[in-house]
Amino acid sequence: MSSTSRHTSRPASAGSFDVCVRGAGAVGSTLALALSAGGLRVALVDAAPLRAAGGEDLRTYALNARAVALLQQLRVWDALPGDAACRVNRMRVHGDAGGQLDFSAWQQCESEIAWIVDAAALESGLAQALRYAGGVERLAGAASEPAAQLVAVCEGAHSSTRAALDAGHVRTPYGHSGIATRLVADRPHQGTAWQWFRSPDILALLPFHRPQPDASYGLVWSVPEAEAQRLMALDDAAFERELNAAAGPAAGQLRLAGQRASWPLALGRARHWCGAGWVLAGDAAHQVHPLAGHGLNLGLADVQTLAEVLLAARRDEPWRSLGDERLLRRYERRRAAATAAMAVTTDTLWQLFRGDMPVLRELRNRGMTLLDGLPPLKRWLIDQARDLR
Ligand SMILES: Cc1cc2nc3c(=O)[nH]c(=O)nc-3n(C[C@H](O)[C@H](O)[C@H](O)COP(=O)(O)OP(=O)(O)OC[C@H]3O[C@@H](n4cnc5c(N)ncnc54)[C@H](O)[C@@H]3O)c2cc1C
């Protein structure tokens, strides 16, 4: 496709802002912070009314080392309340016919495999940091269209601005929903994350400190949509019974410690991430199954790369508009392979574990156990997950 055919009506004039970031989720907010830290003037537009600190998101995110390093650099991470993030020291993954994988930070000589962070606390920490960020102006309401050289679309998986651009976005629903809630166990988690890959569900327990330090988990349970509706409609006692039957005794007796929410899961990808005057980042560009806990990690890596490209251009090519498509393609080229690889990995795992054929079951469980006996490959997998360059 020619670059002309991807032109939009969006003006690439030097407006009052250098960049207009659309969407103040974790990706858009972090991008606004990173750009303003580099001296750019940023408008941050969100469809939702500006929220007071403390959101309602029930999720816990698994964040990798690269994402945490970026949030540290932007002074968001260290300002989070002490109980809002928890180190994962060990990860135990189970198949549906005896397959097992055990990752340990200690064996890999790392201080942690990943961090689990409270989604609402992260959102609140980002909002707090934005209040002190000199170059950012926050505007509420999707109708706001401040003039800027570049519009960075960070509106998430269902972006309406992306729909009006020639991005070629394709969304393939998995037919599953992810149920999230908070749990408390009757024994300490010791920083262990648990995951059960079965057909048809995938269940993850992410160690956490809220509401009870050292004994809480964030639940992410991916189940077929009809089953998700049934589980969501159960009363708390019945839900707890089904959850404990599914998880078994490994993590202890689990009880609900909050409301439940569910999200329809899909694989999504835009064919084009940029055009003259616009660029996509985060879930607006790519959406993956949460089974590996990577969606936001990919989005924050987009932020880091996009900020590097834009700030380098401002420094080294001051004559160039930040909305120049050739400039934005540098970002797309640097991110496309990594995000495509993660989409293929999560989708392959999903396909491998959804089938119920005995031969497939045998294969996937043997594969897991085989991998468990190969320390160099496990080390490589941990390095990929940490995503440190
Ligand atoms: C159950 C579940 C568990 C997950 N667990 C993990 C995990 O452990 N680790 C991980 O890395 N990822 C995880 N993810 C993925 C992660 O949630 C997403 O990748 C991440 O939230 C994407 O952030 P975003 O800012 O791109 O989009 P969003 O979080 O969707 O934010 C988009 C923002 O744009 C705003 N907006 C929308 N439309 C407009 C408009 N027209 N104009 C202006 N603003 C607009 C919205 O109000 C919102 O604030 C999980 C996802 C699910 C569903």
Q: DSSP per residue over 160-192, as a string?
A: HHHHTTT--EEEEEEEEEEEEEEEEESS--TTE
Region of residue 58 (phi > 0: left; psi between -120 and 50: alpha; otherwise: beta): alpha
Q: pLDDT tens for the chain, 389 residues: list them.
A: 333 333 333 333 445 899 999 999 999 999 999 999 999 999 999 987 655 444 468 899 999 999 999 999 999 999 999 999 999 999 999 988 778 888 888 877 888 999 999 999 999 999 999 999 989 999 988 788 899 999 999 999 999 999 999 899 999 999 999 999 999 999 999 999 999 988 889 999 999 999 999 999 999 999 999 999 999 999 999 999 999 999 999 999 999 999 999 999 999 999 999 999 999 999 999 999 998 888 999 999 999 999 999 999 999 999 999 999 999 999 999 999 989 988 888 888 777 777 777 777 777 777 777 777 777 777 777 777 777 66
- Topology at the third CATH level for domain 4-386: FAD/NAD(P)-binding domain (3.50.50)
**CA-to-CA distance for 99 and 83, rounded, in angstroms?**
33
Distance of CA 93 to the CA centre of its chain: 20
Ligand 1 within 6 A of 32 CB? no
Instruction: Please tell me the distance between residue 150's alpha carbon and the centre of ligand 1 in angstroms.
Output: 21
Ligand 1 within 6 A of 180 CB? yes
Ligand 1 within 6 A of 196 CB? no
Counted residue by residue, the chain has a size of: 389
The ligand 1 atom at the shortest distance from the C-alpha of residue 22 is 43
Query: Whose alpha carbon is nearest atom 3 of ligand 1?
Result: 290
Give the CA distances from residue 163 to residues 3, 49, 171, in Å, rounded to whole numbers and listed in that order.
18, 22, 12
**CA-to-CA distance for 145 and 139, rounded, in angstroms?**
9
Instruction: Please tell me the distance between residue 364's alpha carbon and the centre of ligand 1 in angstroms.
Output: 31
Ligand 1 within 6 A of 116 CB? no
Helices (H), the chain: 26-37, 65-73, 119-131, 160-163, 225-233, 236-247, 295-316, 325-354, 358-372, 375-386
- Pairing label, strands 148-153, 278-280: parallel
**CA-to-CA distance for 207 and 194, rounded, in angstroms?**
8
Instruction: Please tell me the distance between residue 47's alpha carbon and the centre of ligand 1 in angstroms.
Output: 13
Mutate to test the pocket of ligand 1, among 61, 70, 139, 203 (most ligand atoms within 8 A of CB): 61
Ligand 1 within 6 A of 296 CB? yes
